[in-house]
């Protein structure tokens, strides 16, 4: 009887192994079958289709369709786009150091921001210059899409460091424009990951980190030590709109604030090489300095590792709005013919054990769309001190600060380059600016801006008008319009489009964006960061918390439940 039980158990195990083996064989057969079908279909089309097909384009579309079934972070880079991969990981490229974009008014590409100290800025190129030719080759759009046109000009401006060319631009002036030519020598450009740092209040330091590119931790360390030497007794780390980057750089930055040997990230994937544990490897700089981290919906990936780890270890107060929720890790894989695949290989888990990935791309809807994990399906984890934190939806701040929503009118003013053009006009009338601190957009300046808006016959979609129109259509369909017609007329009158009223009503928000655009023209990214901090609710809250030691400690400790009497 005992032997029969053993044999029965063995049979079950063998059958189980057989099922697994069968499923694996079946999967391999399906893969081989479909690859053969893809190859055969392409050959048939290439041979028999009535018109000559673009082989590369057709196969590339097939690759894109395949990748579309994964996630937005899994991407293929052919050989000619390898520079994009290098720039993504290192923050370096050979070029002139200038941001550009399509400028609809001229159907050309405009320089929107030369980088401080880089070839374009040193040669005299300014924001607002319209690019006419690069190295003698005219830059015209033709039938290209604006995005493709921008990429074409970008590639023309880039090249091997040390190579020179003539950049021909049209510079708009107050009542005219002039053609200028600059001889520019390309150099190795490295995006500055620390656009600004300084003392913001009493003994509180501020450090903005814009990306996690190669060696950014060294820039961070240098700035942090300098702030401490200037007397910083507390630090505000700004990770807002930092989309992430290198995992190792993120861990090195956390290491500045926590002891050596602390586990920060665990990765879990399908393959053994995708699994790992990442700990701090160096002695920290300061494990006691009070720390506040600013985040928002644009803070993702490595930014969430830093902010989430510091939260899990009760090492910093997180302030702002919920982060993006990217808990996935990508690996660069080489492909034949010098191509590259950036592929998601694992999920990461921070010290509390949670993964903050907000979207499960394996569970797509029939139409291909995906949805964020609802809060009701997230799980509770605990920080080192026992505070509750949750997974599956980004990093929730310890203190939420809901800033003003960007009004619809601001989006259209920026999209139609009116704020951009006004900044160019402002620079005509003000060749120099004394300092960021002394700059203030006056009422007279804003009147001039409003005149420019009106001269452009500016209009924009107002959501209230759209909603009212939809409501009227529903009311008519359901038979309620007859009894409510007077109310609708009264509401239409109140919601009547009035540009003067809107420009005045939203003046504070509009002035903020104008000021940032203007200051950037004189003081580049450093100035733009300083201007943003002038009226920053998140910064104000961080300063308040760091100045109040009792509140800071209470936030980072578990609230005790009152004992029953």
Beta bridge pairs of residue 185: 164
CA–CA gap between residue 458 and residue 447 (Å, rounded): 15
Stated as kind and residue range, the H or E segment containing 393 is none
The 3-state DSSP class for residue 285 equals coil
Nearest CA-CA partner of 439 in 538, 527, 540, 537:
527
Are 330 and 344 in contact by the 8 Å Cβ rule? The answer is yes
On the 0-12 / 13-18 / 19+ scale of CB atoms within 10 A, 252 is buried
The 3-state DSSP class for residue 481 equals helix
Per-residue pLDDT, 465: 65
Nearest CA-CA partner of 309 in 401, 243, 389:
389
CA distance to 6, 115, 370, 442, 502, per residue, from 450 (Å): 88, 29, 42, 13, 11
Beta bridge pairs of residue 245: 212
CA distance to 349, 505, 535, 549, per residue, from 509 (Å): 38, 9, 11, 33
Beta bridge pairs of residue 94: 188
Strands 263-269, 339-349: pairing is antiparallel
Per residue of the chain (565 residues), what is the pLDDT tens digit?
Answer: 444 444 444 444 444 545 556 667 888 999 999 999 999 999 999 999 999 999 999 999 999 999 999 999 999 998 888 777 777 777 788 999 999 999 998 999 999 999 999 999 999 999 999 999 999 999 999 999 999 999 999 999 999 899 999 999 999 887 788 999 999 999 998 889 999 999 998 899 999 999 999 999 999 999 999 999 999 999 999 999 999 999 999 999 999 999 999 999 999 999 988 999 999 999 999 999 999 999 999 999 999 999 999 999 999 999 999 999 999 999 999 999 999 999 999 999 999 999 999 999 988 887 778 888 888 889 999 999 999 999 998 999 999 998 778 888 999 999 999 999 999 999 999 999 999 999 999 999 999 999 999 999 888 776 666 676 777 777 777 777 777 777 767 766 665 668 888 999 999 999 999 999 999 999 999 999 999 999 999 999 999 999 999 999 999 998 765 554 4
Residues 6+ apart with CB under 8 A from 434: none
CA–CA gap between residue 227 and residue 192 (Å, rounded): 18
What amino acid positions are annotated as catalytic residues? 301, 312, 326
CA–CA gap between residue 230 and residue 194 (Å, rounded): 17
CA–CA gap between residue 559 and residue 474 (Å, rounded): 50
Tokens representing 274 are 């995708």
CA distance to 108, 129, 170, 173, per residue, from 181 (Å): 16, 11, 9, 16
CA distance to 173, 345, 347, per residue, from 271 (Å): 60, 8, 12
CA–CA gap between residue 257 and residue 217 (Å, rounded): 12
Q: What secondary structure, in 3-state letters, does 326-386 show?
A: CCEEEEEEEEHHHEEEEEEEEEEECCCCCCCCCECCCCCCCCCCCCECCHHHCCEEECCCC
Q: What is the DSSP string of 52-81?
A: ---HHHHHHHHHHHHHTTS-TT-EEE-GGG
The 3-state DSSP class for residue 161 equals coil
Q: What is the DSSP string of 173-204?
A: -SSSEEEEEEEEE-EEEE--S--EEEEEETTE
Beta strands per DSSP E along 245-321 = 263-269, 276-279, 291-295, 317-320
Are 514 and 450 in contact by the 8 Å Cβ rule? The answer is no
Per-residue pLDDT, 447: 97
Per-residue pLDDT, 564: 44
CA–CA gap between residue 419 and residue 244 (Å, rounded): 29
Nearest CA-CA partner of 228 in 200, 202, 194, 205:
205
Other CB atoms within a 10 A radius of the CB of residue 303 amount to 29
CA–CA gap between residue 371 and residue 176 (Å, rounded): 51
Other CB atoms within a 10 A radius of the CB of residue 435 amount to 11
CA distance to 419, 436, 444, 448, per residue, from 441 (Å): 13, 11, 8, 11
CA–CA gap between residue 249 and residue 464 (Å, rounded): 46
- Model pTM score: 0.86
CA–CA gap between residue 390 and residue 322 (Å, rounded): 12
Stated as kind and residue range, the H or E segment containing 162 is none
CA–CA gap between residue 387 and residue 380 (Å, rounded): 10
Q: CA triplet 113, 116, 120: central angle to 5 degrees?
A: 65
Roughly how many angstroms between the first and final C-alpha of the chain, as a whole number?
63
The residue behind tokens 């994964």 is 70
Are 332 and 340 in contact by the 8 Å Cβ rule? The answer is yes
Per-residue pLDDT, 563: 52
Tokens representing 461 are 């979609």
């Amino acid at each position: 009887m005992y032997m029969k039980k053993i044999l029965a158990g063995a049979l079950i195990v063998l059958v189980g192994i057989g099922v697994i083996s069968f499923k694996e064989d079946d999967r391999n057969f399906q893969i081989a079958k479909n690859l053969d079908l893809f190859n055969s279909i392409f050959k048939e089309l290439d041979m028999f289709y009535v018109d000559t097909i673009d082989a590369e384009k057709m196969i590339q579309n097939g690759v894109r369709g395949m990748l579309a079934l994964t996630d937005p972070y899994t991407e293929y880079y052919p050989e000619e786009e390898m520079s994009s991969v290098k720039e993504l990981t290192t923050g370096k490229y050979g070029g002139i150091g200038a941001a550009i974009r399509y400028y609809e008014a001229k159907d050309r590409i405009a320089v929107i921001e030369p980088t401080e100290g880089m070839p374009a800025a040193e040669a005299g190129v300014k924001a607002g210059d319209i690019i006419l030719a690069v190295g003698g080759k005219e830059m015209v759009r033709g039938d290209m899409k604006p995005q493709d046109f921008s990429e074409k000009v970008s590639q023309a401006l880039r090249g091997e460091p040390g190579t020179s060319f003539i950049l021909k631009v049209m510079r708009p002036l107050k009542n005219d424009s002039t053609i200028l030519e600059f001889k520019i020598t390309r150099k190795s450009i490295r995006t500055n990951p620390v656009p600004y740092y300084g003392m913001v209040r009493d003994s509180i330091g501020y450090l903005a980190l814009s990306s996690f590119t190669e060696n950014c931790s060294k820039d961070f360390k240098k700035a942090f030590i300098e702030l401490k030497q200037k007397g910083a007794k507390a630090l505000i780390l700004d990770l807002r709109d930092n989309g992430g980057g290198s995992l190792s750089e993120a861990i090195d930055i956390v290491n500045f604030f926590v002891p050596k040997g602390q586990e920060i990230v665990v990765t879990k994937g399908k393959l053994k090489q995708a699994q790992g544990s990442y700990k701090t490897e160096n002695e920290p700089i300061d494990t006691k300095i009070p720390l506040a981290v600013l985040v928002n919906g644009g803070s993702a990936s490595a930014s969430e590792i830093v902010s989430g780890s510091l939260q899990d270890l009760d090492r910093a107060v997180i302030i702002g709005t919920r982060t993006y929720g990217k808990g996935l890790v990508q690996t660069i894989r080489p492909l034949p013919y010098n191509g590259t695949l950036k592929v998601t290989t694992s999920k990461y888990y921070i010290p509390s054990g949670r993964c903050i990935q907000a979207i499960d791309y394996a569970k797509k809807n029939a139409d291909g769309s995906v949805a964020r994990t609802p809060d009701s399906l997230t799980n509770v984890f605990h920080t080192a001190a026992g505070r509750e934190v949750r997974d599956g939806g980004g990093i929730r701040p310890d203190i939420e600060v809901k800033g003003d929503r960007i009004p619809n009118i601001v989006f259209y003013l920026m999209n139609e380059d009116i704020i951009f053009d006004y900044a160019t006009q402002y620079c005509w009338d003000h060749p120099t600016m004394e300092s960021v601190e002394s700059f203030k957009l006056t009422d007279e300046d804003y009147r001039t801006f409003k005149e420019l808006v009106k001269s452009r016959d500016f209009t924009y979609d107002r959501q209230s008008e759209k909603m009212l129109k939809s409501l009227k259509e529903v009311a008519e369909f359901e038979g309620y319009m007859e009894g409510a017609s007077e109310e609708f007329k009264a509401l239409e009158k109140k919601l009547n489009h009035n540009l003067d009223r809107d420009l005045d009503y939203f003046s504070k928000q509009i002035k903020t964006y104008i000021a940032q655009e203007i200051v950037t023209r004189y003081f580049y990214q450093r100035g733009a960061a300083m201007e943003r901090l002038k009226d920053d609710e998140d910064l104000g809250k961080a300063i308040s918390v760091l100045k109040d030691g009792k509140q800071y400690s209470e936030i980072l400790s578990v609230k005790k439940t009152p004992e029953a009497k």
